[in-house]
Amino acid sequence: MIKRRLNGVFHFPASAMAKQPSTIYVCQNCGSQSRKWLGQCPDCQQWNTLVEERFRATAQPAGQTKFTAHYRQSSPIAYDSIESQDDARTESGIDELDRVLGGGIVAGSLVLIGGSPGIGKSTIVMQMADRLGKNGTKVLYVSGEESERQIKMRGERLGVAAENLFLLPETNLQAILAETEKLKPDFLIVDSIQTVFSDQIESAPGSVSQVREVAAQFMHFAKQTATPVFLTGHVTKEGSIAGPKTLEHIVDTVLYFEGDRHHNHRIIRATKNRFGAANEIGIFEMTNSGLVPVGNPSELFLQERPENATGSVVTVCMEGTRPMLVEIQALVSGTKYGSGRRMTQGFDQNRTSLLIAVAEKQLGFQLAGDDVFVNVAGGMEIDEPAADLGVIAAIASSFRNLQVPPETAVFGEVGLTGEVRGVLQAQARAREAQTLGFKKLILPESNKKGLEKLLGIRVIGVKNLEQAMDALF
Ligand code: TYD
Ligand code: MG
Full DSSP string of 391-453: HHHHHHHHHHT-PPPTTEEE--EE-TTSBEEP-TTHHHHHHHHHHTT--EEEEEGGG-TTHHH
Q: What CATH superfamily is the domain 88-295? A: P-loop containing nucleotide triphosphate hydrolases (3.40.50.300)
* Whether the CB of 288 sits within 6 Å of ligand 1: yes
| Ligand 1 pocket mutation pick from 119, 123, 190, 284 by most atoms within 8 angstroms of CB | 123
Mutate to test the pocket of ligand 1, among 193, 234, 286, 292 (most ligand atoms within 8 A of CB): 286
CATH, domain range 300-472: 3.30.230.10
At 404-426, the pLDDT tens digits run 998 999 999 999 999 999 999 99
Taking a C-beta distance cutoff of 8 angstroms, is the pair 403, 308 a contact? yes
Among protein residues, the one whose CA lies closest to atom 14 of ligand 1: 118
Rounded mean pLDDT of the chain? Answer: 86
Residue of the CA atom closest to atom 11 of ligand 1: 118
CA distance to 104, 106, 277, 367, per residue, from 322 (Å): 17, 22, 11, 35
Rounded CA-CA distance 118/100 in Å is 21
Which atom of ligand 1 is least distant from the CA of 120? 2
| Whether residue 116 has its Cβ less than 6 Å from ligand 1 | no
289 lines ligand 1 (CB under 6 A): yes
Q: Ligand 1: distance of its center to the CA of 195 in Å?
A: 18
Q: Which is the closest atom of ligand 1 to the Cα of 121?
A: 7
| pLDDT tens-digit series, residues 194-249 | 899 998 888 888 888 888 899 999 999 999 999 999 999 887 666 555 655 678 88
From the CB of 123, is ligand 1 less than 6 Å away? yes
Q: What are phi and psi of 331, to 5 degrees?
A: -135, 120
Q: Looking at residue 370, what is its pLDDT?
A: 93
pLDDT of residue 221: 94
Q: Ligand 1: does its nearest atom lie under 6 Å from the Cβ of 158?
A: yes
Among all bound ligands, the one having the nearest atom to the CA of 123 is 1
In the chain, where the domains are located: 20-58, 88-295, 300-472
Whole-number Å distance, alpha carbon 146 to ligand 2 midpoint, is: 8
Regions of the chain short of the pLDDT cut 70? 1-21, 55-73, 85-87, 236-245, 261
